[in-house]
Every structure is written in C-alpha cells, then in structure tokens.
Structure 1
Amino acid sequence: MHMSTRVAGVLTSLALALGGAAFAAPAAHADVTACINQVERELQGGEAPDSVRMACYVGLTGDNEQCVSGLTAAGVTNGTSVSACRVAPE
C-alpha cells in the first residue's frame, strides 16, 4: 500500500506540473499571436509565413532588434515590424 501511495503522489505532482505549464503557455502564445496579427493586418487578411512567425517568437524572448530585422527581411514594413515586435514580449 505504501508503494501505491507514492505512485499516486508522483502522478498528482506530475498532473499539477503539467497543468501549470498548460496555464502558462496560453499567455506566451497570446503575445506571439498579437505580433503575428499585427503583421497579418498589413497583409490584409493574408496568413503570415513561417519567417514572420519565427521573428515573432524571437521577439517573445525580448530580442526586439532581431525581431524587427527578421520581420523586415520577410517583407514587412519597418513601422509594422516595430509595432509588432513591441507587443511580442508583453
């Protein structure tokens, strides 16, 4: 019985840890989504290519300069790149 109690405790801890990770993930994802949405507005309904998504993920880490550089390399205007990268790490 002692072993089953330990297994139950480990499973409970694992479930809590995974639940916490799932709770934290949407907030981070929403920031990247805000960045991508800014770019997609400029594309007027077009879906952002993978290069834009990657640049927004870089922006999420706080590397604003690299984010802007990645977006402008993907053909996004400088003004939109700056504003999109500004919202990524929020």
Structure 2
Amino acid sequence: MRTSSRVAGVLGVLTGLSLALGGVSLAAPAVHAAPADVSACINQVERELKGGEAPASVRASCFIAVTGAQDECVSGLTEGAGVTKGTAEAACKLGAE
C-alpha cells in the first residue's frame, strides 16, 4: 500500500472520529435539557391525577412533546391516559419548552 493511500485512510478515520465526537458534544446539551422538560410535562399531568403517579403512557406522550409533536402528545394524553384536553395541552407545551 502506498504511503499516500495510508495517510488518506488515516485522515479519513480521524475526520470521521472528529465528526462523531463533535456530534456527541453538540447533542449533549439537548439531551441534558430534555429530562427537565419531560418532568414538567409529567408533573402537570400528575397534578390533575391529584397525587397519583403518571402511568407509562403519560411518560411516553411527554417524551413525544420534547420532539415538538404537540398534536401527538395531546392525543396520547387525552386518549391514552384520560387526561383533560386543557391539562394535556398545558403539559405538552411545558414538555416542548
């Protein structure tokens, strides 16, 4: 194998590694922020449940809110968890912030 081919291969690997690590560092703040938003959404629903713990369907819908899919979040909370529409809309809005 030629030296130039080896150098090009090594540079390619290093470039890919740099991009991968850079992507992780850019994604880290968003991942760090998500649990607080999900928690705010879940807490809003739990207030309506008057102390009851939110079921898995509520947690799933609140995770959807973080992605920005408000309609899916609201329908998941109202249809899947039996939450009132007003509470669902407020919770999903909190989850998206």
Q: TM-score, normalised by structure 2?
A: 0.69
Question: In the alignment, which of 85, 88, 94 is matched to residue 81 of structure 1?
Answer: 88
Instruction: Name the structure 2 match of 1:39.
Output: 45
Deviating above 2 A after TM superposition, structure 1's stretches of 4 or more consecutive aligned residues are 17-26
Structure 1 gap ranges (5+)? 1-16
Q: Aligned residue for 1:26?
A: 32
| CA 60–23 in structure 1, closer or farther in 2 if over 3 Å, else same | closer
Instruction: Note the residue ranges of structure 2 that are not aligned, 5 or more in a row.
Output: 1-22
Q: Kindly tell me: are residues 24 and 40 of structure 1, through their superposed partners in 2, closer, same or farther at Cα, counting changes over 3 Å?
A: same
CA distance in 2, matches of 1:60, 1:24: 10
- Count, aligned residues: 90
Name which one, 1 or 2, has greater alpha-carbon Rg.
2
* TM-score (structure 1 length as normaliser): 0.74
Secondary structure, counterpart of 2:68 in structure 1: coil
Quote the residue 2:10 is aligned against.
none
Q: Which amino acid aligns with 2:78?
A: T
